[in-house]
Amino acid sequence: MEPFKNMISKKVAANLADAISRNYKAFDKKSFLRGVGRDLLPLELKDRVIFLAKKLHDHLPEDQGVSLKILQGAIRQNDDDSVGVSGFAAWPLTEYVCRFGLDEFDLSMKVLKEMTKVFTAEFAVRAFFLHDEKRTLKFFKQWVNDKNEHVRRLVSEGSRPLLPWGQKLPSFVKDPLITWDLLDQLKDDSSEYVRKSVANHVNDHSKNHPDLVVKKLLEWKKAHPGNTDVDWVIRHATRTLIKKGHQKAFILHGVEGGLVEVISQKILTKKVDLGKVLQVEVEFQNRGKKKLKIILDHEVHLLKSNNTHNIKCFKGKRMELMPSEIKKVAFNIPLKPVTTRTYYSGKHYWNIKVNGKSEDKLAFTLNT
């Protein structure tokens, strides 16, 4: 597989030069492209984006109002536009706006609104929140009803407090209510793309304000009974709370009080090679007098280099259990190599987690 960083390449730089030249005839394409392939080669993805944004700055007019309009004209204007850039090729343009457009605040925000239609401006707009939060929010309040789904998604994604790859927005981390009205308007948006962003935004807040998030989502659920779109947002927004076993969050998933007894849990593969699956089996019973919804997750206690263990929660399955019903379920839990985690040979542990409550852990050996 080609390295992800190659989404920004010498070819992309050449496409940018062509797109800019169509509205800015004085653009020195030869100078802009000189040595670009060599200079990009050692850089990772984000550094490539920054490099091209700075190089554009060196080749565009000093008047940022003029330069911003040139860049807006360089993006793909419609389906018939074969010169304008879109996708990752447009990322250096949004990066330019956040680095050099703060002094042309209103124009920059309008340019980002257009750019986000061809490549998300969720990273770039954060510089404007950090520079002037209230002023940026005024634009977001206007855009929340925009006809373009990419603009509406920017309202949610651009204001996420803990956006991956993006700058943290400290005031939004501290107070979820600053943007909650925007999320409230977007929670049942006609676009799944927008609704997923809302769920991820709320999930960010759940990491620091779990009780408040549950309270607000219960209000959503009560206000929209039977709305499958809102129900999906609520479930997806509480995935971290479910993994952490936050008991009130289970109510949002239709899981309420009841007595579930784990009769037995077994590890069927006492020794596992990395890349294979851990096979386990659980038998449990509904001891109550009403049908119960059950959420089964797994906790794998992964051995660390210092001989302690880090608990990783793996998603299991959901099921229903009739009064007095007994079920036995087998699971295969993949233990695959990933770039974000280092596995160590030795003793690891596993246990089932039933409706957020962890059972006693059992040992197995992992060979890496």
Quick one: pLDDT at residue 257?
67
AA letter at 222: K
C-alpha 191/C-alpha 232 separation (Å) is 13
AA letter at 65: G
Would you list the domain boundaries of the chain?
1-124, 260-367
**Structure tokens that stand for 2 in this block:** 């080609």
What is the b/e burial string over 297-328, where b = at least 16 CB atoms within 10 angstroms of the residue's CB?
A: bbbbbbbeeeeebeeebbebeeeebeeeeebe
| Nearest residue to 253 via CA among 190, 192, 319 | 319
| Nearest residue to 110 via CA among 119, 19, 189, 101 | 101
Cα 62 from chain centroid (whole Å): 36
Helix 192-206 vs helix 228-237: crossing angle, to nearest 10: 40
User: How do the pLDDT tens digits run along the chain, 368 residues long?
Assistant: 678 899 999 999 999 999 999 999 999 999 999 999 999 999 999 999 999 999 999 999 999 999 999 999 999 999 999 999 999 999 999 999 999 999 999 999 999 999 999 999 999 999 999 999 999 999 999 999 999 999 999 999 999 999 999 999 999 999 999 999 999 999 999 999 999 999 999 999 999 999 999 999 999 999 999 999 999 999 999 999 999 999 999 999 988 767 899 999 999 999 999 999 999 999 999 998 899 999 999 999 999 999 999 999 988 899 999 999 999 999 999 999 888 889 999 999 999 999 999 999 999 999 99
C-alpha 270/C-alpha 364 separation (Å) is 5
| Nearest residue to 294 via CA among 313, 274, 317 | 317
C-alpha 76/C-alpha 40 separation (Å) is 24
Burial of 105 (0-12, 13-18, 19+ CB in 10 A): middle
Q: Given 3-state DSSP classes, what are the helix, strand and coil percentages for the chain, each rounded to the nearest 5?
A: 45, 20, 35
pTM of the complete model beyond 0.85:
yes
| Nearest residue to 171 via CA among 121, 122, 238, 126 | 126
Residues 6+ apart with CB under 8 A from 326: 263, 283, 284, 285
The residue written with tokens 């061809």 in the block is 118
C-alpha 267/C-alpha 132 separation (Å) is 55
C-alpha 159/C-alpha 166 separation (Å) is 10
Is 313 strand, coil or helix? strand
Quick one: pLDDT at residue 195?
98
Helix 91-100 vs helix 105-115: crossing angle, to nearest 10: 170
Q: Kind and range of the H or E element at 153?
A: helix 149-157
Q: What are phi and psi of 111, to 5 degrees?
A: -65, -40
C-alpha 93/C-alpha 187 separation (Å) is 30
| Domain 260-367 CATH superfamily | Immunoglobulins (2.60.40.10)
Burial of 43 (0-12, 13-18, 19+ CB in 10 A): middle
What angle (nearest 5°) sits at the alpha carbon of residue 230, between those of residues 227 and 129? 155
